[in-house]
Structure 1
Amino acid sequence: MHSEHDWITTPLTADLLRGALDVEHTEHGLLPHRLPARARAQNTNAQLAMAEAQPSGVRLVFRTAATAVELDTLRTKRDYTGFPPRPDGLYDLLVDGVPAGQASGTGGNVLTVDLATWAGGVTSGPVGTVRFTGLPARDKDVEIWLPHNETTELVALRTDAPVVPAPDRGRRVWLHHGSSISHGSDAASPTAIWPAITALRGGVELVNLGFGGSAMLDPFTARAMRDTPADLISVKTGINIVNADAMRLRAFGPAVHGFLDTIRDGHPDTPLLLVSPIHCAIHEDTPGPTAPDGEEIGKGRLVFAAMGDPAETPTGKLTLTVIREELSRIVEQRAADDPNLHYLDGLDLYGPQDAAALPLPDHVHPDAATHRHIGDRFHELAFRKGGPFAEEG
């Protein structure tokens, strides 16, 4: 620590956090969760357990005149067997809503994952410190967005001036659920995932339930959404169900209805936007499952391929084309009784024309530039005048 500051240590409590649905008290400190304990107890999937504990969209928010801030964290990085180490997770600093710095963590644990089996082993490491200095010496709202792709236990917060929880600015809360794309896979930083780009442009408070590999219409996720206060709700679903070859059309339609019904039990009139998958050439007309391309892995590249047989589509195997048609049909059917339910075609966020200019490097996930494109496009289609999330008046 820098000795020139008279440090004040502020206890880390849930009222300093935004975007988490639960916090777990660990031996080190606070672990933010994006699913409540009841939902976690019903989940047996290791990938979802990892994803919901990665704090995508979660930020520490407080008011202070401090010019220096230190945050001790214990991170868990993930690396993939046989691939180069992944880049360190980043922390984005915002001062009064304006980007004001970026830092990466140090130390921490490493979870090594075998992509073939999702089996993993953890190597322990020490607590690290993230430091921001040179902040303006006035009262201000400070936000530290946690790494979207690293499990992050919050150990200690130190500042050179007192900290209080930031006041409620009266912004609308946007609750969003989606896949790894919404989680922020391959985005540049936590405020550069597409939902954060949209939320910051739209002036709304984001609660991001984007879970890598895990937008599966899980009933426990629907119940978590039902029970979470929100002014705007969106559900982006389809690609993970194809990736895992998890359902056929017979099961998919009723599962969508059930998911929407559960959300409506808690939010009967809230604007609710159902979003279909963006363009993904390998799965437009070819069902799942999805698997890493073995030839490319041999070259040290992670690229995905579709393993299903298009000839099985008539028997109910799901492709993205089929899913978009079904989601559109469901919204049209329900809209007569639910005027606040809306549909957004994922191809309007990222379609074949966009893919020509901004290809998906691994055939499934957008890169940093494409996250910005999708975030800007979602803002334009959902939040602009006349859109389902537009401010009234």
Structure 2
Amino acid sequence: MKHLLFPILPAFMLMTGYAPAAAGQTVWHDPLDSAATGAGANCIQGRGFAQRDYARLPEPAREIVRDAVWGLSRNSAGLYLQFTTDSPDITVQYEVTGGHTMPHMPATGVSGVDLYNGRGERCWGDYSFGSPITYSYKGLPDTSSAATYTLYLPLYNTVKRLRVGTREGASFAFVPADTTRRPIVVYGTSIAQGACASRPGMAWTNLLHRATGLPTVNLGFSGNGRLEPEVIAYVASIPAALYIVDCMPNMYVPQDSVYTLVLNAVRQFRQLRPDTPILLAEHPGYANRRTNAARHAEDERADRAQRQAYVQLKKEGVKNLYYLSREEIGMPADGMVDHIHPSDYGMEAYADAYHKAVRKILKLK
């Protein structure tokens, strides 16, 4: 872990967690600050609800969804900032509420950020995990005032405050979310939330965002993608180009119950969004399904029930309903860090499979 040296600071500065750079060197930009966001513009992209924080569900959901879902919705998975600057140096400082790492996922994935330029190339920088967490990018070659960057936020932590620093005298502007473009909305499990990517840019939803160029909303809830009507009501309330429902890894219920849950979920979507395409995804298959009979039976049971529900819904005449099979996902044998969570290698397999399906459904070039 890199150690940062700060001068002695007044107590109130230390309490905020932010240590200012030397005078004349860095100008700080807060995306939640009214001066930065302009007349009501929402600069936090990748979500379906305008609000002044780094969370994924709006405040009224606190009283409606289960506590576990509400808590996970505070994580900033899939959220991102876009900004333009001609500064050759960019610094990102922020604070989070939770621990920086998990046993099976590094700090850079749980709590890190990821910066990409307008060509989709990752910008490499130094980082340190303290309070605040700091990422520093030096000597960036794009010094045009129109140079655009995308900053993906942490996958498994809650951001309390964040600011972006640029060299004094450089141009800078946050890019407001384009509300005229309908996003791909993903509802799913820990895999959709981003476990266990090594960094935010490698989560499959963020890979899909860069591959398609379409806004993508991540409503993955670790261990809690359970096809609950209270959650689906919020998912479906977002006007979308496509809904992806990837919940089979969290179907810890009997086969008949999975069948009913899928039927009811699609019908609920159709009540709110009669024509929007829906893509149902199968379980990717446990990594140990060939060596553990119980695991093999579990993922087969969930997929069997969902396939039966899909067939029934098609018989009922449900239009624009699509299906992504385990075989089409094609999770490689070494694509997971444990029994279920993809590594970067597995995330790329997920993203490739979804990209093919999305291109076909939305008729993208």
Same fold (TM over 0.5): yes
Question: Does residue 62 of the first structure (1) align with residue 94 of the second (2)?
Answer: no
Q: Secondary structure at the match of 2:97?
A: strand
User: 1:174-224 deviations in whole A, cap 9, x for unaligned?
Assistant: 111111111111212111112222221122211111121111112222011
Unaligned 5+ runs, structure 2: 1-20
Partner SS state of residue 75, structure 2: coil
**Aligned match for 1:183, one of 174, 187, 193:** 193
Note closer, same or farther for the CA distance 1:193–1:104 as it changes in structure 2 (3 Å cut).
Answer: farther
Deviation at 1:170, TM superposition (A): 6.8
1:102-127 CA-to-partner distances (Å, cap 9, x unmatched) read 4576455xxxxxxxxxxxxxxxxx33
Structure 1 residues 97 and 335, CA gap change in structure 2 (3 angstroms): farther
Q: Retained in 2: the 8 A contact 1:141–1:166?
A: no
TM-score normalised according to structure 2 size: 0.79
Task: Check if 1:232 corresponds to 2:242.
Answer: yes
Q: Which amino acid aligns with 1:251?
A: S
> Residues 34 and 52 of structure 1 are in contact (CA less than 8 Å); yes or no, is this contact kept in structure 2?
yes
Instruction: Indicate if the aligned counterparts of 1:8 and 1:162 stay in contact, CA closer than 8 A.
Output: no
Counterpart residue identity of residue 335, structure 1: K
Contact 1:279-1:350 at 8 Å conserved across structures: no
| 8 Å contact from structure 1 (residues 57, 145) kept in 2 | yes
- For 2:118, give the aligned amino acid: D
The yes-or-no answer on 1:221 pairing with 2:221 is no
Contact 1:63 1:166 (8 Å CA) reproduced = no
CA distance in 2, matches of 1:128, 1:346: 38
Counterparts of 1:1-393 in structure 2 under 5 Å? 1=21, 3=23, 5=25, 7=27, 9-12=29-32, 13=37, 15-22=42-49, 30=53, 32-46=54-68, 48-78=69-99, 86-88=106-108, 89-103=111-125, 106=128, 126-135=131-140, 136-138=142-144, 139-159=146-166, 160-166=170-176, 168=178, 173-242=183-252, 247-280=253-286, 282=288, 319-336=298-315, 337-350=317-330, 354-355=332-333, 358=334, 360-380=336-356, 382-384=357-359, 387-391=360-364
- Normalized per residue, the structure richer in strand is 1
Query: Aligned partners of 1:273, 1:189: CA distance in 2, in Å?
Result: 26
* Equivalent pair of 1:91/1:144 in contact (CA under 8 Å): yes
Identity of aligned residues (%): 22
Deviations 1:347-370 (A, max 9, x none): 32035xx32xx2533212121211
Partner-residue secondary structure (3-state), 2:149: strand
Give the Cα separation in 1 of the matches to 2:23 and 2:342.
43
Aligned partner letter, 2:138:
T
Structure 1 unaligned blocks of 5 or more? 109-125, 288-305, 311-318
Deviation at 1:260, TM superposition (A): 1.6
CA distance in 1, matches of 2:50, 2:135: 20
Given that 2:244 and 2:280 are in contact with CA atoms closer than 8 Å, whether structure 1 keeps it comes out as yes
Q: Does the Cα contact within 8 Å between 2:251 and 2:302 map onto a contact in 1?
A: no
Contact 1:91 1:102 in 2 (8 A): no
Q: RMSD across aligned C-alpha pairs, in angstroms? A: 3.1
Which letter does structure 2 place at the counterpart of 1:41?
E
Output the TM-score relative to the length of structure 1.
0.73
The count of corresponding residues between Structure 1 and Structure 2 is 329
Map Cα deviations across residues 19-64 of structure 1 (whole Å, 9 max, x no partner). Answer: 1344765xxxx3x112222333223444x34432221111011233
Q: Match for 2:305: what amino acid?
A: E
Query: Partner letter of residue 143 of structure 1?
Result: T
Partner of 2:4: none
Q: Alignment partner of 1:15: what SS?
A: coil
Mapped contact 1:19–1:208 kept (Cα < 8 A): yes
Q: Higher mean Cα deviation, 126-135 or 322-331?
A: 126-135
Shift of 1:283: 6.1
